[in-house]
Amino acid sequence: MTQNITWHAHQLSTDQRAQLKGHQGAVIWFTGFSGSGKSTIANALEQKLHALGVHSYLLDGDNVRHGLNQDLGFSDADRVENIRRVAEVSALFADAGLMVLTAFISPFQTERALVRDKLPAGRFVEVFVDTPLAECERRDPKGLYQRARAGEITQFTGIDSAYEPPSAPEVHLDAGNMSPQECADKIIQVLQSKGLLTP
């Protein structure tokens, strides 16, 4: 399918775009159950990055499914394709020098590894928002767990579809016992320690 396609090299390099912005591009990948706090923490982090003068963009799972991925359902195959498309977009944004924040359940380790492999070493930061399933169900901000338990939604992560937690995330958040601001501060510290942000 790609034999007639040739990669077009750009005149500007990734490093030149990063130099203009004053920081490297990277992908900060939030993963966890629905209701774990991924979007809330990502929003808190983006506000802190903005205050630091960091050029960023937040890709939220629900928002992306309203547009780019509106043709996809929630089967395992569609979930894989959902993350594949987001991986491509995220890698492009990071190459442009942006700090990309993504909030997706992204339940499968192989798909998260696919995103990591698309980026230069050190430019992918996996953030495991580790909130117990029982707490996510208690919160149930969108009423999805209740509907899944009632059989109105099928293939729902944590109920009748698997979630594979990260084995070695760069950031492991005990989000059931930390505020979104505390979680965002911890991520900032990790980004600084990895040289992606200036202390």
* pLDDT 10s digits, 141-157: 899 999 999 999 998 99
Catalytic entry in 39, 90, 106, 193:
106
Name the pTM for this structure: 0.89
pLDDT of residue 11: 67
Helix (H, G, I), strand (E, B) or coil at 166: coil
Q: Locate 14 and state its tokens.
A: 């990734």
pLDDT of residue 165: 96
CA distance 119 to 94: 8
Is 106 a residue of the active site?
Answer: yes
Q: Which residue has the higher pLDDT, 74 or 52?
A: 52
Which helix (DSSP H) or strand (DSSP E) does residue 29 occupy? strand 26-31
**Percent of the chain beyond pLDDT 90?**
69
Predicted confidence (pLDDT) at residue 67 exceeds the cutoff of 80: yes
Predicted confidence (pLDDT) at residue 2 exceeds the cutoff of 70: no
Summary mean pLDDT of the chain: 90
The mean pLDDT of 53-74, rounded to a whole number, is: 88
Helix 38-51 and helix 180-193: axis angle, to 10°?
A: 60
pLDDT-derived band of residue 102, with 50, 70 and 90 as boundaries? very high
Q: Mind listing the domains of the chain with CATH numbers?
A: 14-193 (3.40.50.300)
